[in-house]
Structure 1
Amino acid sequence: MLYIVLLLVLAALGLLVPALTTTQTHWAWLSVGASAAAAVVLVLDWWHRRRTGPTPAAAGTTAERIDQRAEPGGRPAPEDDTSTSPDRAGEPAEEDTDAADLLIVAELSDEIRVLDERPRYHLAACSWLDGRASLGLPIAEARQLGFTPCAVCRPDSTLAAGKRAAGR
């Protein structure tokens, strides 16, 4: 969709040149029309993404199935480490990911949750996310963007364990 918008904006710019160099106003109106079409495409793309929500493949990810088995409330089992408690003022610690888990997670496309302007990615059932607006991303994209795993919900080890269990 963004390529279509880019082409429409470039067309509008191309139509603006003859509108400014000639006295014919139909070039200017064509430029305005191309700009309006680009705006309509952007709005339609936004509406379509908002309406569809998460992708169907990510709706029943391995991580969510494992989290639902962890505790009746759907939350992962609590850790004894006090540094991973859900502190509302600061960030949770970074999960110490095992190298074997990292190799497995690098191949996954499961959806995880991120908070804008925060460095960690989380499972959907992470207790640290309670009441916070989060964005869904594929785990590979989140890692590529520089997000690191949360130590509260331990997404890397949970997803790797789920992948291992599914592979058996």
Structure 2
Amino acid sequence: MLFIVLVLVLAALGLLVAALITANSLWAWISIGLSVVAGLLLLFDWLRRRKKRAAAAPAEEEDPAEEDEPAEDEEKTPEDVEQTVLMPAAGELGDAEDTPEPQQSGDPGEEKSDPADVAVVSELEVEVVVVDEYPRYHVTSCEWLETRDTIPLGIGEARQLGFTPCALCTPDAEIAGNHREKA
């Protein structure tokens, strides 16, 4: 889109120079028209990108406890009590393997890959996708990808670059399973 706008602006500049040299006002008006078209294309592109970002950005949810808490002088209803969610204390979750990994701004956690799957996957030339500035690689059908711009990479290259498998689409397990079915 920006390339088209650049071409239109350069054409408008050329027509403006031609209008000045020949003293022909028609060339000047065509130059103005091309400039307006270029501006409208930029506006259209900006609106399209803004809409895409708005669709991709997760809706910020307020803390449900703050939202649903009745005022101090009101009584709690049974529905309010049912909506209260208690988080377990640090030692109540069991060993460290069961604790969820902290996520980066909506990024899914890391798949706990079976070593056998990792061995199979590392030998394959299967393509996975990554999202810029996120540490996970995914299969193309991953629901987390929805409207995000993806970058295709070979799974070996993705691992070499430090990407780890997504916990939602479990690419290592899925790719290794598909390979085993074919074999």
Q: Please classify the TM superposition score into its range, dividing by the shorter chain length.
A: 0.3 to 0.5
| TM-score normalised according to structure 1 size | 0.44
Which structure's CA Rg is the greater one? 2
How does the TM-score come out when normalised to structure 2? 0.41
